Chains A and B, each alone.
Chain A
Amino acid sequence: MIRIANAQLWVHDQEEALAFYTQKVGMEVRADVTLPEMDGFRWLTVAPPGQEDVSIVLMTIPQAPVMDGETAEQVRTLMAKGFAGTVFLTTDDCQASYEELKGRGVEFSEAPEERPYGIDSGFRDPSGNSIRLTEVKLPAGV
């Protein structure tokens, strides 16, 4: 059986991303390991409390020779434009989670709104990655 364990998100700055995902979104650190033998590579993952078997890897954009400078700049630009990826979070109460995160300083680009699949809202992390926060309510029979 194949299962999802981690999915990776590029971030501009791991400290900034860590503060955002833990202090504002309310996630917890699952792993934070720096490997000196690998040029200081830092494996940093976060996940929502209570969801044990999946986490988001907050990955810094590598330098050469791992990634050439031009490619790194392209990734940075894509991320800054908001086109580098999306994380889809679900909640059992979109309005309540929205208020909670907003109270902690998360700026939403979309306030909760009724959609055919439930109540949906959206915000960005400091790097520009898009985060959806959705209360899924499928119509009966789907």
Chain B
Amino acid sequence: MAHVPPARHLLRAKDLADARYAEPLEVDDLARAAGLSKAHFSREFRRAFGDSPHAYLLTRRLERAAALLRTTDHSVADVCLSVGLRSIGSFTTSFTRAFGVSPTAYRAEHPPAASQALVPGCVVRAYARPQHRTFREDKAPTPT
């Protein structure tokens, strides 16, 4: 087996953040995945990837939260929880710092999620067909 460069272990930690951001994952867990002490890990991770592991995990969560705000109609609180963050208050603060607008404003800036839903053609045909109207519809129904 060839010698494995230390960065390969750091990449394992980065991949863990990308794969399991939705879980209550912390820098300690990432350090464990890399097999390094927390302080040493944070320093090495930053040297390899340019961000501290804390910042990487947080921005991964914010990126995923932004995607959920664009593509779902889940509440801001649900979005926060489903990307592994537990405090709505600090989520709103970090989101606003990262994207320049609050989660609610960010969602309002994007087309509503419903417009992107790839609803099957049969559903569209069934539900979008307008009610039949005649030019005389405002008048009392004519006896048939």
Contacts and interface: CB of A to CB of B under 8 A. Distances in A.
Contacts, number: 44
B19 A80 contact: no
Interface stretch (A27-35, A90-98, A103-111): A103-111
B1 interface: yes
A124 interface: yes
Given A13-B1, A16-B1, A81-B48, A128 B18 contact: no
Given A13-B2, A81-B49, A109 B7 contact: no
B122 interface: no
Interface in A40-93: 60, 76-77, 79-82
* 8 A-B pairs closest in CB distance: A80-B7, A80-B8, A80-B5, A109-B15, A13-B2, A109-B19, A109-B18, A12-B2
Nearest to B18: A109
B107 interface: no
Mostly, the B contact residues are helix
Given A108-B19, A111-B19, A82 B4 contact: no
Interface of A: 12-13, 15-16, 60, 76-77, 79-82, 107-111, 124, 127-128
Interface of B: 1-2, 4-8, 10-11, 14-15, 18-19, 48-49
B120 to A, nearest CB: 13
B19 A110 contact: yes
A58 B71 CA distance: 39
Contacts of B8: 12, 80, 127-128
A14 to B, nearest CB: 9
B70 to A, nearest CB: 12
Contact of A80 (B1, B11, B18): B11
Contact of B4 (A15, A80, A81): A80
Nearest to A108: B19
Contacts of A15: 1
Given A76-B5, A80-B5, 11 more contacts: A13-B1, A13-B2, A16-B1, A60-B2, A80-B10, A81-B7, A81-B11, A81-B48, A81-B49, A110-B18, A127-B8
Contacts of A81: 7, 10-11, 48-49
A127 B1 CA distance: 12
